Amino acid sequence: MAALDQAPVKEGVDQETVDAVREVGGAYKYGWNTDIEMEYAPKGLTPDIVRLISEKNEEPQWMTDWRLAAYDRWLQKEEPKWAMVDYPDIDFQDQYYYARPKSMEVKPKSLDEVDPKLLATYEKLGIPLKEQMILAGVEGADSIPAEGRKVAVDAVFDSVSVGTTFQAELKKAGVIFCSISDAIREHPDLVRKYLGSVVPVSDNFYATLNSAVFSDGSFVYVPPGVRCPMELSTYFRINAENTGQFERTLIIADKGSYVSYLEGCTAPARDIAQLHAAVVEIIVEEDAEVKYSTVQNWYPGDENGKGGIYNFVTKRADCRGDRAKVMWTQVETGSAVTWKYPSCILRGDDSQGEFYSIAIANNYQQADTGTKMIHLGKNTKSRIVSKGISAGRAQNTYRGLVSMHPKARNGRNYTQCDSLLIGDKCGAHTVPYIEVRNNSARVEHEATTSKVDDDQLFYCRSRGMDEEEAVALVVNGFCKDVLQALPMEFAMEAQQLVAISLEGSVG
Amino acid sequence: MGLPERKRTATEARLAGLTLPTGGWAEPARRDALSRVTAMGLPQRRDEYWKYTRPDSLLDPEPPRAALLEQGGELVFESMDRLKIVFVDGVFDPEASDALELEGVTIDRLADARDADIHWAKDFYGVLEARGQTPVERPFAAMNTAFATDGVIIHVTGKPSKPISLIYIHRSEHSDAILHHVVRVDRDAEATILENGPAAARFNKCMEIDIADGGILHHVRAQGRDHERRAVTHVFARLGRDSVFKSFTLSVNGVLTRNECVIELTGDDAIAHVAGACVGDGDFHHDDTVFVTHDAVNCESRQVFKKVLRNGATGVFQGKILVKEGAQKTDGYQISQSLLLDEDSQFLAKPELEIYADDVACSHGSTSGAIDEDALFYLRSRGVPHGTATDLLTLAFLAEAVQEVEDEALAKDIISRLENWLARRR
């Protein structure tokens, strides 16, 4: 959209028309910011800031101590440099670690009390928070019949959770769905038992940082035998400038339960890069199943690589019981830099892990993403399907690990990672690690790299499509395997995102 | 930037026992290499490039002992007409070798380098090794360039009538040999180089190969019969336009083998194939590390590695295809497979692609598993005994790699070695 943005606007054409045209043209749709009065903690990271965050969340002493211990570990850790991403050094002292809308000072008791400005923000993002307005939850799902499909949303705005919908209905089913700060206060036993049990405090630099300063996030507990009556979702919005968002999500699926969880994220377009370091922990007990889907659409920076979100995320699921199942699906279209490896620890016998990913990098975006499948139990199965698309001057890396331990008898893994290159200035890379330590395990890995097929493009063009449309169609076909794994609402949004993210990459 | 303390001490300790050969045309290159290796430091257990192979025994100031194996039966390549160049514990043996004369090729000893200040190899010695240090460091290769005590310098000017055969003999239980060979293949020239033998208790070998436009080099190597030896070898090859390089390695046993192959395709339409078949039993660790760089248009590269492992043997494959910006029409292929014959063996692989050009077809595959039960059942139902059936399937598995050897007689020789290995273990 560079050409359009820079094109001189003729006199007499009003700004609204220009905006409308730009909107249609695609580019980043969520780049606006909400002008809202914020309250910040002072810049920088010190034990005092950690205490302050803990205090603001009215946390018990054990939580404060936990955070301070994490802070001490963080000081000893070095920033990882092995990923194929290149960005200027981050000054961790030049960031705000806590920012919340002033209106959230006194926690609203229900969504009716929430600042209308905040509600309007989410509405504009296509995430209505008023329950009567919620039909299908996510934009692009207009065609879905209104009845039946409900999505409970936990909306996180900078450092705080604004509100969580459908809590009452979920409670009836026994499901706990709330912000993690509420959970620390209201369900300390559960939090204390599980927090940090999948991603240990000192797991890696960013996870340790997150453990010290996470301000909010979502908490889910599904009791034994319960099938969560609706999809749960968290919507993360970074709004404040120079502010890092550090959210923490903890999902516990008890024996025989099922939950599908969706995660979405956006941020305003700003010249200065912003930091986002999240941790997601999932515990899957015997016979339970968790589906975790992400559409990551943080601001990717402009077409010259200015600004954007640095996205450093640690996500891990632990299949603790037999026959536990976890499925990660991600569509990564945003962020200037992505560093993210949702993993599965397949501890229980017959447990299963799946990872479906589409990573799209355009302009100067850099993505280094993939998964880890750690097979510990007998007859564990995993499947990895990763589709990387690079355009412009972007670099896209798949990095993954498949590890079959000696006890993972009859373990099975299938990995497919395909890369598509659009343009001759971008890069696509594959860095798989395969460790097979027993002979009854079967591991297969395939990877291909190619460009958009000329014959397919020609065919589409001969049917009257313009080039960008044709590329979007071919790319959607390339991503089909992953798109099919997404919940319906997300699949539609993702499909559109694929087209939008590649805007301007042809020709 | 200083090295971590531990790495610096280990490097100093290893280098302390070595003397830099002085005088002659190779000295400047040796000094450069020495400063390279001291700056990089030798690999440590936690280095990413040594994630799957422990370099410890390669770092010991004294080489670990390796028992001599009795040389029963005919050695590999023995029935072939070839020009024999023999090294005993890393020292050239003129008595056992043929006269270093063959039409279409000139052969000199590296050990004679100190006698002259001018030699064509002055512009080649250590050059490809130095280029091969980026983007990944290969400190043992730099150490080799600095301290190599012997080796041959082969200049292929025409099409010699028979292969040049380098034979390494191991006579002392504590030998620690460092050999460095330089091979230059002129425009449109063609040659075959063979290598075999245990060499030493610990062996560090480096071969730099520069192939001019239209040149062809076949390289076939057999590492075997030397169960306790440790070896780290490097092949650095640079290919000009329309040139061809094909390298095959058969590895049978060896307590530690690390074979690195670094190939750079710098001329358009060049072809490089690297293949390896390895069979390991027991206390066996075999690591193939390959790095192919495509820096020209329309080149082809193939990496085919097959490993058969049993009794707790470990196979490692680290392969990479790097396609630089502008290296369009690249055809890159890589396959690494392992057959684990029992539950103690393991296969560790890291097959990488790094691609900066869009009009390419690159793929890699990697599999690991046991013998296919269905295939075994089929053979047995046809009356083939269990042992024979397993051997047949194992050979079939290795065949894709052995097929990379173009010369039929050589390929046959290699297959018979594999058959023997299997038969001995029945």
The complex's ipTM? 0.88
The answer to whether A423 contacts B358, with C-beta atoms less than 8 Å apart, is yes
Record: contact B367-A445, CB cut-off 8 A? yes
Burial A221-248 (b: 16+ CB within 10 A, else e): bbbeebebebbbbbbbbbbbeebbbbbb
Shortest distance, CA B323 to any CA of chain A (angstroms): 9
Tens-binned pLDDT, residue by residue, of chain B (426 aa): 578 999 999 999 999 989 999 989 999 999 999 999 999 999 998 899 999 999 999 999 988 888 887 666 778 898 889 999 999 999 999 999 999 999 999 999 999 988 899 999 999 999 999 999 999 999 999 999 999 999 999 999 999 999 999 999 988 999 999 999 999 999 999 999 999 988 899 999 999 999 999 999 999 999 976 678 899 999 999 999 999 999 999 998 789 999 999 999 999 999 999 999 999 988 899 999 999 999 999 999 999 999 999 999 999 999 999 999 999 999 999 999 999 998 889 999 999 999 999 889 898 999 999 999 999 999 999 999 999 999 999 999 999 999 999 999 999 999 999 998 888 877
Dig out the tokens for A346 from the structure.
């397949």
Q: Which residue of A has its CA nearest to B333?
A: A448
Crossing angle for the helix pair B27-40 and B139-147, nearest 10 degrees? 150
Per-domain residue ranges of chain A: 42-501
Answer whether B368 sits within 8 Å of A423, measured CB to CB: no
Q: Among B345, B351, B369, whose Cβ lies nearest the Cβ of A432?
A: B351
Cβ contact, residue pair B364, A425, below 8 Å: no
Which residues in chain A land under pLDDT 70?
A: 1-27, 109, 128-150, 489, 504-507
- Residue B271: count other Cβ atoms within 10 Å of its Cβ: 17
Q: What H or E segment, with its residue span, contains residue A262?
A: strand A258-266
| Cis ω before B135 (30° cut-off from 0) | yes
Q: How far is B400 from chain A (nearest CA, A)?
A: 17
Query: A-B interface: how many C-beta pairs under 8 angstroms?
Result: 118
Write out chain A residues lying below 8 Å of B344, CB-based. Answer: 406
* Residue matched to tokens 């520069």: B210
State which residues form the domain around B243.
5-424
Sign of CA dihedral B129, B132, B133, B139: negative
How many Å lie between the alpha carbon of B327 and the closest alpha carbon of chain A?
10
Structure tokens at B164: 């040049």
Decide: B239 and B266 in contact? Cβ < 8 Å.
yes
Are B356 and A435 inside 8 Å of each other by CB?
no
Partners of residue A439 in chain B, C-beta under 8 Å: 340-343, 345, 369-370
Query: What per-residue confidence (pLDDT) applies to A377?
Result: 96
- Do the Cβ atoms of A390 and A422 come closer than 8 Å? yes
The answer to whether residues B299 and B265 touch, using CB atoms and an 8 Å cutoff, is yes
**A40-52 pLDDT tens trace:** 888 889 999 999 9
**Interchain contact, A438 vs B350, CB within 8 Å:** no
Q: Are B368 and A441 in contact (CB < 8 Å)?
A: yes
Identify the pLDDT of residue B71: 60
Among candidates A419, A438, A444 on the partner chain, residue whose Cβ is nearest the Cβ of B343: A438
Residues in A closer than 8 angstroms to B324, CB to CB, are: none
In angstroms, the separation between the Cα of residue B355 and the nearest Cα of chain A is 5
Q: Which residues of chain A have a Cβ shorter than 8 Å from any chain B Cβ?
A: 82, 84, 406, 419, 421-451
